[in-house]
Amino acid sequence: MPDKSLKKPFVHLIGAGPGDPGLITVKGRESLGRADVVIYDYLANDDLLRFARPDAELIYAGKIGGHHNREQWQINALLVEKALAGNVVARLKGGDSFVFGRGGEECEALVAAGIPFEIVPGVTAGIGVTAYAGIPLTHRGVTTSVTFVTGHEGHDKEVSQIDWEGLSLGSGTVVFYMGIKNLPQITANLMAHGRPPETPVALIRWGTRPEQEVLTGTLADIAEQARRTGFRAPAITVVGEVVRLREKLRWFDNRPLFGTSILVTRAADQAGEFGAMLGALGARVLECPTIAIVPPESWDNLDAAIASLDRFHWAVFTSVNAVRFFFERLAAAGKDSRALGNCRVCAVGPKTAAALAPFGIRPDLIPADYKGEGVVEVFRSEEIAGKRIIFPKGDRARDVIPQGLAELGGEVTAPVAYRNVTPDSLPAGVIAELEERRITCVTFTSSSTVENLAAILGENRFLHLLKGVTIAAIGPITARTCRELGLEVHVEPSKYTLAAMTDALVDFFSRSK
């Protein structure tokens, strides 16, 4: 670790955007990754913290509805303290630091202490949240102006600085930040100063996130609607005729999986792709790795097989993990894919075939049925009697392939290329999500993901927490394991791929609506 005494202090004030982690700027993400210390807010999405360095100090400094983890002066002092200790500090704030973010006050403290800094602008809530709600702030023929206003003025102000008459008599869009608590006063002031009671209003809570909520009404009734429905902060209020365009232009919250919370139980390094597919369709995705893929306890058997690859006639790969570990070990032996020159290759499905492609290998066989039984079946059309077959596998792989190919006359060598181990615990918050019934669906992509979750939770708790939850299994083997452990399977795609699983989930939840 570098000597901090030799480093110059520096502070990045980073606007994190309104919630969707994809809305942080490239510069914001890069600045976050350089920081020794990250001081982050309540409205900055925690998912962004994965872009911080693993050794970075993470400090929460959030403010929720007047309940402050730290007062503003304490945050200012903390920034100065951490920077003067020789750190590069990232101050991660929701939205944009200079739009109702008190970023100016923090910069004044840094200037007073002689600490250099930079401002990394962010997408402010008034722009990002309204776009995700399908409400254009300006629209030809409707309005050509927009005003951003705080809905929560400081308690030390005896006289409001808000020009209510100007806001009311003008025809432009008005966006109030942090105004839910004061909504009755806001609407009353606008109507008292001339804004028509029938003026459309939208309240947007947790905008740009999968849990986004939108409530629409008019100046006359929106405060009562919010009270009756329990609509709470954090939210912005949009006032103006542009709100009428929402039903025509809404796109974010009418996606097929919007409103669902889906638990992905794949290994941590493999959950991202599936999670991204589900998230793009509107799901709130929680990654909950119930397996970890690690090297075998000994490489001896795989190394011995690799040393004699020229003896084999076939290589069979049934997972991306098998491809990864096999070729890593092949490289460790000083070899590359040319060592498979005497082999024909079988891949269990398109994902495994895609994993082979970077090594210049196109499979000779891909079964129509993407499972072990399908591999055995496709070999029935090949003459493999007396042929030597290498089958790098996981330690929990079923015996279907080696037994089936042996029955066809093949001589199968099946070295363990990787192990599937059970994590000691689940990610923080997952248990609470299950206990509070906030999880809509749990997805299982292998028998191991089911077995491991049951092992971590214990059988009784496993069944209790998953009762009433939609269960999705990627194929018949995984589905059978689910049923053996007492679960009812609701979603099972006809093809055993993540894309097919995603399509099946869309179909299921579309029919359920």
Query: d(Cα 81, Cα 89) in Å, to the nearest integer?
Result: 10
Rg (CA), the chain: 28
Q: Which pLDDT tens digit goes with each residue over 400-411?
A: 999 999 999 999
Residue ranges in 65-217 assigned as alpha helix (H): 72-84, 103-112, 125-132, 164-169, 183-192
Residue 33 has pLDDT above 80, yes or no: yes
Give whole-number Cα distances, 369 to 347, 375, 391, 500, in Å: 11, 8, 18, 13
Predicted local distance difference test score (pLDDT) of residue 47: 85
Number of H helices, E strands in the chain: 19, 23
Confidence of residue 156 (pLDDT cuts 50, 70, 90): low
Tell me whether residue 277 is one of the annotated catalytic residues.
Answer: no
Q: Is residue 57 part of a domain?
A: yes
Q: Catalytic residue, from 20, 93, 178, 501: name it.
A: 178
When divided into structural domains, the chain yields a total of 4
Per-residue model confidence as pLDDT tens digits over 226-238 = 999 999 999 999 9
Beta 88-93 vs 235-239: how paired, if at all?
A: unpaired
The 10 Å CB-count burial string (b at 16+, else e) for 184-213 is: eebbebbbeeebeeebbbbbbbbbbbbebb
Instruction: Taking residues 471-481, report their average pLDDT.
Output: 96
pLDDT at 309: 96
The residues, ordered by sequence, that sit 6+ positions from 513 with a Cβ below 8 Å of its Cβ are none
| pLDDT the model gives residue 6 | 54
∠ CA 182-185-187, rounded to 5°: 105
Mean pLDDT of the 277-282 span: 95
CATH number (domain holding residue 146):
3.30.950.10
What Cα–Cα distance (Å) separates residue 484 from each residue in 421, 477, 487, 489, 506?
Answer: 20, 11, 7, 11, 26
63 is catalytic: yes
Neighbours of 304 (CB within 10 A): 11
Which of residues 420, 446, 461 is at a domain's end?
A: 420
The one catalytic residue in 36, 41, 96, 253 is 41
Residue 1 lies in a domain: no
**Of the residues 90, 122, 154, the one at which a domain ends:** 122
Same domain, 49 and 118: yes
Region 206-213: mean pLDDT is 94
Q: Is residue 255 part of a domain?
A: no
Same domain, 410 and 473: no
Sign of CA dihedral 461, 467, 469, 472: positive
Q: Give 312-353 pLDDT, tens digit per residue.
A: 999 999 999 999 999 999 999 999 999 999 999 999 999 999
Q: Tokens 């079964």 — which residue?
A: 367
Has residue 216 been placed in a domain? yes
Q: What value does the mean pLDDT take over residues 14-34?
A: 96
CA distances in angstroms from 206 to 14, 232, 240, 469, listed in the order given: 20, 10, 20, 24
The per-residue pLDDT for 155 is 54
Bond prior to 9 in cis (omega within 30° of 0): no
Q: For residue 81, what are the CA distances in angstroms to 38, 98, 105? A: 13, 22, 16
| 3-class secondary structure, 482 | helix
Per-residue pLDDT tens over the stretch 349-386: 999 999 999 999 999 999 999 999 999 999 999 999 99
pLDDT grade for 42, boundaries at 50, 70 and 90: confident
Query: Do 190 and 103 reside in the same domain of the chain?
Result: no
DSSP 8-state code for residue 243: G
Q: For 228, list phi and psi in degrees, rounded to 5.
A: -65, -35
Q: Between 52 and 269, where is the model more confident? A: 52
Tens of pLDDT along 411-442?
A: 999 999 999 998 888 887 899 999 999 999 99
CATH of the domain at 351: 3.40.50.10090
pLDDT score at 70: 82
Task: Based on the residue annotation, tell me whether 41 is a catalytic residue of this protein.
Answer: yes
> What average pLDDT score do residues 243-260 get?
96
CB count within 10 Å of CB 421 equals 15
Quote the percentage of the chain above a pLDDT of 70. Answer: 96
Identify whether residues 131 and 212 lie together within a single domain.
yes
CA 193, 196, 197, 200 torsion-angle sign: negative
Whether residues 415 and 393 fall in one domain: yes
Indicate the range of 37-46, 314-323, 452-461 predicted with least confidence. Answer: 37-46
265 pLDDT band, cuts 50/70/90, is: very high
What pLDDT, on the 0 to 100 scale, is given for residue 157? 60
SS3 273: helix
pLDDT for the residue numbered 333: 96
How do 235-239 and 173-177 pair as beta strands?
antiparallel
- What is the span of the domain harbouring residue 440? 261-291+423-512
For residues 481 and 378, membership in a common domain is answered with: no
Separation between Cα atoms, residue 316 and residue 294, nearest integer Å: 20
pLDDT reported for residue 512:
80
Least confident interval from 145-149, 225-229, 272-276, 308-312: 272-276
Which residue, among 278, 226, 319, 289, has the nearest Cα to 440 in the 3D structure? 278
Whether residues 132 and 88 share a domain: the answer is no
Average pLDDT over residues 20-28: 95
The pLDDT score that the predictor gives to residue 65 is 56
Q: Does residue 456 lie within any of the structural domains?
A: yes
pLDDT band at 4 (very low <50, low <70, confident <90, very high): low
**How much is the pTM?**
0.79
Do residues 225 and 135 both lie within one domain?
Answer: yes
449 and 334 share one domain: no
pLDDT at 7 over 60: yes
Q: List the catalytic residue out of 63, 181, 335, 351.
A: 63
Report the pLDDT value the prediction gives residue 127, as an integer from 0 to 100.
98
- The predicted pLDDT at position 161 comes to 82
pLDDT at 297: 95
Tell me the three state secondary structure of residue 159: coil
Rounded to the nearest integer, the mean pLDDT of the chain is 93
DSSP helix/strand/coil, 167: helix
pLDDT band at 67 (very low <50, low <70, confident <90, very high): low
Residue that has been written with the tokens 């299994």 in this structure: 473
Query: Closest by alpha carbon to 474, among 348, 389, 364, 357?
Result: 348
Residues 313, 285 share a domain: no
For residue 254, being part of any structural domain is answered with no
pLDDT of residue 151: 85
Q: What pLDDT shows up at residue 19? A: 93
pLDDT at 63 over 70: no
Residue 507's alpha-carbon distances to 144, 273, 440, 499, in angstroms, are 41, 20, 15, 12
Alpha carbon distance 19, 261 (integer Å): 16
Q: How far apart are CA 290 and CA 456, in angstroms?
A: 8
pLDDT, tens only, 100-113 = 989 999 999 999 99
Whether residues 272 and 210 share a domain: the answer is: no
Cα 218 from Cα 240, distance rounded (Å): 9
Q: Is residue 73 part of a domain?
A: yes
